[in-house]
Chain A
Amino acid sequence: MRFWLSLKRAGLPAHIGIIVIVLFAFAAVFAPWLAPYGESEVVDAVPWATPEESGTLLGLDQLGRDLYSRVLFGARNTIALAMGITILAFFMGMTAGFFAAVVGRWVDLLLSRLVDIIMAFPTLFFALIALSIFGTSIPVLVFVIATLDSTRVYRIARALAMDTNVMEYVEVARLRGEGLWWIMRREILPNTLTPLLAEFGLRFCFVFLFISSLSFLGIGIQPPAADWGAMVRENGVAITYGIFTPLVPAAAIATLTIAVNLVVDWFLRKTAGLREEY
Chain B
Amino acid sequence: MGEPILKIRNLQIEGFADEQWKPIVNGIDIDLNRGEVLGLIGESGAGKSTIGIATMGYCRPGCRFVGGTIEFDGVRVDELTSAQIREVRGVGISYVAQSAAASFNPAHRLIDQYVETPVQHGVLKFQQAAKNARAMYATLDLPDPDNIGKRFPHQVSGGQLQRAMVAMAMSCEPDLIIFDEPTTALDVTTQIEVLAAIKDIVHRFNTAAIYITHDLAVVVQLADRIMVLRYGDLVEESKTHEILNNPKEDYTRDLLAVRTFRKNSEDLVSGPVPLIDINNLHASYGGEIKVLEDINLSVEKGRTVAIVGESGSGKSTLARAMTGLLPPSQGTVKYSGIELPKSYKERTKDQLRQMQMIYQMPDVALNPRQKLREVIGRPLGFYFGIDGGERDRRVKELLEMIELPTNYIDRFTPELSGGQKQRVCIARALAAQPAVIICDEVTSALDQLVAEEILKLLDRLQKELEMTYLFITHDLATVKAIADEIVVMLRGRIVESGLKDEVLTPPHHEYTELLLSSVPEMDPHWLDRLLESRATVN
Contact = CB atoms under 8 A, between A and B. Distances in A.
Given A169-B365, A273-B19, A277-B17, 11 more contacts: A167-B367, A175-B323, A175-B324, A175-B344, A176-B382, A177-B382, A178-B382, A186-B367, A277-B414, A278-B363, A278-B368
Contacts of B325: 171, 174-175
Interface string B427-469: 0100010000000000000000000000000000000000000
Nearest to A191: B369
Interface in B210-231: none
Contact of A169 (B353, B356, B367, B432): B367
Q: Which of A168, A277, A278 has the most CB of B within 10 A?
A: A168
A167 B365 CA distance: 7
Nearest to B428: A172
Interface string B292-327: 000000000000000000000000000000011100
Nearest to A167: B364
A52 interface: no
A165 B325 CA distance: 14
Contact of B367 (A174, A191, A278): A191
12 contacts: A167-B367, A168-B359, A168-B361, A168-B365, A169-B364, A171-B325, A171-B357, A175-B344, A175-B357, A177-B344, A187-B367, A278-B368
Contacts of B383: 176
Is chain A's binding surface mostly helix, strand, loop or mixed?
helix
Nearest to B349: A177
A278 B363 CA distance: 9
Interface in B335-379: 344, 347, 349, 352-353, 355-357, 359, 361, 363-370, 378-379
Contacts of B414: 277-278
Nearest to A169: B367
Interface size range on A against B: 10 to 19
Given A174-B344, A178-B382, A169 B19 contact: no
Contacts, number: 56
Contacts of A278: 363, 368, 414
B144 interface: no
Interface of A: 167-169, 171-172, 174-178, 186-187, 190-191, 273, 276-278
Interface string B401-435: 00000000000001000000000000010001000
B217 to A, nearest CB: 29
B250 interface: no
A104 to B, nearest CB: 13
Nearest to A168: B365
Given A276-B17, A277-B17, A277-B18, A176 B432 contact: yes
A171 B357 CA distance: 10
